[in-house]
Structure 1
Amino acid sequence: MKVTYIVALGVLAALIVRLLMIGRRPKNYPPGPPTLPILGNIHQLATRDSHLQFEKWAREYGPVYSLMLGTKTLVVLSSDKAVKDLMDKRSGKYSHRQEMYIGQTLCSGDLRVLMMGYGPRWRAARKMIHGLLNVSAAKSYVPYQVLENKQMLYEMLVDPDHFLYHIRRYSNALTTTMVFGWRTPTYEDDKMKQLFDGFSEFAELNQTGTAALIDFFPWLRFLPDFLIPVRQKAKDLHRKEKALYLSHWLKVKEEINNGTAKPCFCEEMAAAQKAEGSFDDDQAAYVSGTLLEAGSDTTSSTLYAFVQAMLLYPEVQQKAFEEIDRVVGRDRMPTMEDDCDLPYIRACMKETLRWMPTTILGAVPHAVTHDDYYEGYLIPKNAGVMNNVWAIHMDPNRHPDPRRFDPERYVNDHQSLGDAAANPDASKRDQFTFGAGRRICPGIHVAERSLFLGMSRILWAFQIEPKVGADGKPILPDPDRLTQGFVCMPEEFPAQITPRNQAKADTVVREWHEAEKECLDPVTKQWRVSPVPSRVNGKI
């Protein structure tokens, strides 16, 4: 009896010691803030504007530091060199994802490509997506971008107060055309509103403390729903989101079967599904839905940030006016052929991506598949690895006076966004908003053209000035007030958007009406004939 009692005490003591070891940072891990038993650094995580806390830690503990989050480890990369050395050069090890119970299991039914682990399903989806968005394919979508851009300018002319809506419709319509073969002709589209609202809710749910705690302490997921209300919210969001994505996919699949579909990504995916049978309609719906999310949200958020920058930095706007007027003139809008001759506009695009990165903390952390060593520290298997975009972009050694919007930083940078991301010299990479390694955003080439056309044509046509308040003072937005979530944007703000002169206003109206008459069905407002050839059966 006495021996049994002693054994039981020994087992209990061992369990207590083991429990208290949770949250402690082993000596060979990268440095980081002091920890508490069990919690680690969880109690130090900010509930709002967490990018500021991650930046502060980077200045204190260096470009590679670690956080102990319950049973999980997060390694934070806060320098261009560390991101290049690990996420790019060792991408075979650094392309996985940690398990995300709320985000991937409940919100996404294990179907969302963004959060999918590095395995056969992810690689197959990535291969198809690359076919849609590679450099050569991206060039073929310029006619789509030009048309949607003309409508955006027209809407900003006739309804300037809702410029955010017009920017969102522009990015969404372009994405739906590429992915599904049909465009979104109006912002008053319930499915488009559901997309933006749903993705905002998804980002917020995954930023909640409860979602993090369930990942850090997996046993919490066995508690009943009434103790974890975020779980029911996640299930409800998945139900609505899956219905939306399935409706898009099944609609275009039916059009493909009856021969009425326009050339699009889903045409190619349907052919692959038929030939291989390796993925069902649910997975196909989420592959296309992932593209819709990424293409709609990040481009519109960046353009919105650009408008804010023009409000706050009128001297930059004036210099951009001068370059556009000198190169393009007053009688026509900029085109992609003007790209090389408008270095200051390109610099504005790059500076916007740096100054207000939408994926402010690299969206979803990568995970390492095997133990690895870097700069003498162990990065353990299954650790999350964060691309700390904000800290890199705000590094004063890399970008002096980093919160100032200064396109001059990039006027001599003639790289495309894709070329800059692939540059072996980490210091020559322009910005890190699109991610790194094998998880880099495949839409980078399309986004570059959408942003250049959007920014150059907005500035060709319009002057952006502050609204005046009731007190007679200009209303200026605070550039540090951002929406919350792993994809963010400036909080909504007003702006006075007016045509630079009547001739430009007339051109905006004429260009849109001519494009509308020439390209679109007068009733459905869909393309009569797609300017992009089919991608299946070797037609491209």
Structure 2
Amino acid sequence: MTTLHLGSKTWVTLNTHRVTHEIIVKRGSITNGRSAYPIASDIVSHSGRSLVLPTAQWSEKRRVMHHLLSGSALKKYGEFQEIESTQMLAEYIFKPKEWYRNHYRYANSVIHRIALGERFIMSAQNLANTQRIVAEFTRSIGASIIDWFPALSRLPRFMQPWRGYWEKVGQFHLDVYRSWWDPVKKQIDDGTAPPSFARDGLLSPNAKFSGDDQEAMYVTLQLIEAGSDTTREVLNCFVMAALCYPNKFQRLRDEIDKVCGSNAERLPVLADLENIPYVHAYAKELLRWRPIFISTPDHMLTEDLEFEGYLFPAGTCFAINEIAVSYECESPTEFIPERWLDGKEMDITHGLWQFGGGRRICVGYKLGQRSLFLNIARLAYCFDYHATGPYNSKHMNYEKTGEPFPVMPTIRSEAHRELILREAKDAGVLEEAQLEYESIPDWVPEY
């Protein structure tokens, strides 16, 4: 453990699996708080994003989101995931240079359909808005000295020159959210909306959600925001691993061929979850090898804690040092999926902390695991990857809308091409997969 004094806050980073499990999981009843974030939470998020809310405001939102992503619901969402994945494979055929945008469209469309009940056409503007919102929100967490000295947020307004900038950021987020939410809300009010989390999990009388309309909007749309970005980033890392470790990629393909046939007999499906353990191990190693998050949001103590001779007062914040914990293994810089073939490979949170932990663990981790299994298996089954220029395996260009690194996917065989096109036609997504993407507008704010 390492103690850091950041402004008026005391943070303790957890640098090993053991202490992380002991404090975040075993002591989860008193380490599930969040410290105050006047900028990231109060202003940018209008106190709506659960990720940075204190326990009292978070609990009700957590309850309804947990219901959304329960085991029975996951089976219902499986159809959405397989349809959108089939479209992504067809997009790989028609738009191979846009492979990274194909990943993003898949991830966004699945979670959009679950949350709002309708298939989502990822326009260039919506893509730019989504990327901008994610980037601005994540950057706002701790970006201002005010988040480290929360008492400064209580100064008279004329003594807060920073507020103007962050209020513009927060207003942009609110306006984009409203542009997505209001049409769906109107359909729900009119009784014409399809089944969705918004309709059935929040606004139905049976849901018993105690929040107002804006709280319901944030609960719903933060799912889209989070679910869109993380899945596509892991799939991008999958492509990088395919370039860097072709022998591991070949073993992955061999394991899939044993179940689906090497001659394009059928696509992998979610019913294969228990039949190809190496795919799960591959997904877990991607998250360990190239962690999406270098640290977790803080877990604040809600009461004093004595732990192995140390006394931590209430208000102390614990954060998981994802890089240190991920590298607590043999040959940590190497990509070795076999390290996860331990009988627990189907639990993507076992031995990993990329989804957080304890009572604050990401409610969508099971949905995310199913998406990773399905798409890693299908992409490895159907496509090869070849670098088209120099690249750095430790760097991906996430900050801009251009290609993360130079690569070209190619179809494995003509039989695999025919399989994909046939499945896309049967799923009713073949024509849509052929549509060209629009040029993405610049999303960098002008203020």
Task: Tell whether the structures are fold-level matches, with TM greater than 0.5.
Answer: yes
Who is 2:440 aligned against? none
Residue in structure 1 matching 2:367, options 430, 446, 455: 446
Equivalent in the alignment of 1:251: 183
**d(CA) in 2 for partners of 1:275, 1:306:** 38
**1:455-466 pair list within 5 angstroms:** 455-466=376-387
Aligned pairs (5 A) from 1:459-498 = 459-467=380-388, 469=389, 475-480=390-395, 492-498=404-410
Q: Which residue of 2 aligns with 1:402?
A: 332
> Could you tell me which residue of structure 2 aligns to residue 152 of structure 1?
88
State the distance in 1 between where 2:129 and 2:199 align.
Answer: 24
In the alignment, which residue of structure 2 is the partner of 1:504? 416
With over 3 angstroms needed to count, the CA separation of the structure-2 counterparts of 1:277 and 1:203, relative to structure 1, is closer
User: Are 1:75 and 2:21 matched, yes or no?
Assistant: no
CA, structure 1 residues 101+490, in 2 after alignment: closer, same or farther (shift >3 Å)?
Answer: farther
C-alpha contact (below 8 Å) 1:246/1:282 kept by paired residues: no
Residue 254 and residue 519 in structure 1: after superposition, are their counterparts in 2 closer, same or farther (change >3 A)?
farther
Contact 1:102/1:234, CA 8 A, preserved across alignment: yes
The answer to whether structure 1 residue 361 and structure 2 residue 283 are counterparts is: no
Out of 263, 266, 271, the residue aligned to residue 337 of structure 1 is 271
Report what 2:26 is aligned to.
89
Deviation at residue 193 of structure 1 after TM alignment: 2.7
Q: Distance in 2 between matches of 1:327 and 1:489?
A: 37
Find the counterpart in structure 1 of residue 238 from structure 2: 306
Q: How many Å separate the matches in 2 of 1:90 and 1:517? A: 47
The 1:225–1:103 alpha-carbon spacing in structure 2 relative to 1, beyond 3 Å, is: farther
TM superposition score normalised by structure 2? 0.89
CA shift in 2, pair 1:91/1:412, >3 Å: closer
SS at match of 2:428: helix
In the alignment, is the contact (CA less than 8 A) between 1:148 and 1:174 conserved in 2? yes
- What is the alpha-carbon distance in structure 2 between the residues aligned to residue 258 and residue 219 of structure 1? 45
Following the alignment from structure 2 to structure 1, what is the Cα–Cα distance between the partners of residues 265 and 132? 39
Q: What residue in structure 1 maps to residue 60 of structure 2?
A: 124
Change in CA separation of 1:296 and 1:518 when aligned onto 2, cut-off 3 Å:
closer
2:35 to 98, 103, 106: 98
Partner of 2:314: 381
Distance 1:456 1:417 in 2: 17
Task: Identify if the C-alpha distance between structure 1 residues 342 and 235 changes in structure 2 by more than 3 Å, giving closer, same or farther.
Answer: same
Percent identity over paired residues: 31
| Structure 1 runs not aligned, ≥5 long | 1-63, 422-428, 470-474, 521-540
Query: Residue 538 of structure 1 corresponds to which residue in structure 2?
Result: none
Q: CA RMSD in A?
A: 2.6
One-letter identity of the residue aligned with 1:106: I
User: Comparing 271-280 with 172-181, which one deviates more in the overlay?
Assistant: 271-280
TM-score computed with the length of structure 1 as normaliser: 0.75
Matched, 1:181 2:117: yes
Q: Is the 8 A contact 1:273 1:280 kept in 2?
A: no
Tell me how many residue pairs correspond in the alignment. 430
Alpha-carbon distance in 1 for matches of 2:206, 2:344: 43
Which residue is 1:203 aligned to? 138
CA distance in 2, matches of 1:122, 1:219: 22
Question: 1:129 touches 1:442 (CA, 8 Å); kept in 2?
Answer: yes
Distance in 2, matches of 1:189 and 1:134, equals 32
Distance change in 2, residues 1:440/1:482 (3 Å): farther
Distance in 1 of aligned mates of 2:210 and 2:150? 31
1:337 Cα deviation after fit? 2.1
Q: How far did residue 457 of structure 1 move? A: 0.3
Match of 2:352 in 1: 431
Q: Which runs of 5+ in 2 are unaligned?
A: 433-447
- How far apart, CA to CA, are the structure 2 residues paired with 1:407 and 1:415? 10
Q: Distance in 2 between matches of 1:216 and 1:389?
A: 21
Q: Which has the higher contact order (CA 8 A, sep 6+)?
A: 2
Q: 2:334 is paired with a residue of what secondary structure?
A: coil
Segment of structure 1 superposing worse, 294-303 or 165-174: 294-303
